[in-house]
Amino acid sequence: MTQPQTEPHKASQTTPHFASQPEAQAKSSSVPHSTPHSNPHLGQVSDSSINPELEKLAQQNAELIGDLQRTRADFENFRKQVDLQREQAKNLAKHATVSKFLPLIDDMSRAIKAHPDLLAPVQKTLDKTLKSLNLSIIDSSVGTTFNPEFHNAISMEDDESGKEVIAEELIPGYLYEGQVLRAAMVRVKHQ
């Protein structure tokens, strides 16, 4: 009895053929690894088509880097501007607050001048407080040279000979952190 013979070709297609490990390694080592440069079947990419793409990407990259740098610079300028505005607002608020205390300081000074023996401790406390606030009195004593940056002349003698000096201080002036907060109101005479 003869068994029907199958074609060897069809049998190999339906049943898998497992090769032994040494045989599989030999086959895998004989097949060259494909790389984009060594495999001619992976789409013939020429250097002439790569260069324009690379140049385009490099240009886009440069534009994006430039945009980023400009944005950083704009943000840094904005931050500096906000810091400056904050500092100016803080100084303006301090000046406004200290200005509101000037009438109280004037009243205290008048009371101390009226009763110096009783209010000498108050004078010391007032002087310390003014110093701690960086507030100083503008020198407007009699005989001091008149300076229009620090003094407001309420009246002036008609005689124009000699230099202008202060004859009397009407309202004291104050410097706050080296800037004129309120000019002293004085009468001026020529000497």
pLDDT of residue 188: 92
Contacts of range 175-179, beta carbons closer than 8 Å, 24 or more positions apart: 175/135, 175/136, 175/137, 175/138, 175/150, 176/94, 176/95, 176/98, 176/133, 176/134, 176/135, 177/134, 178/134
Instruction: Give the tens place of pLDDT for each residue, 153-162.
Output: 998 877 777 7
pLDDT of residue 24: 45
pLDDT of residue 190: 85
Neighbours of 183 (CB within 10 A): 19
Residues in the chain, pLDDT under 50: 1, 6-43
pLDDT of residue 156: 85
Q: Which domains does the chain have, with CATH numbers?
A: 134-191 (2.30.22.10)
pLDDT of residue 5: 52
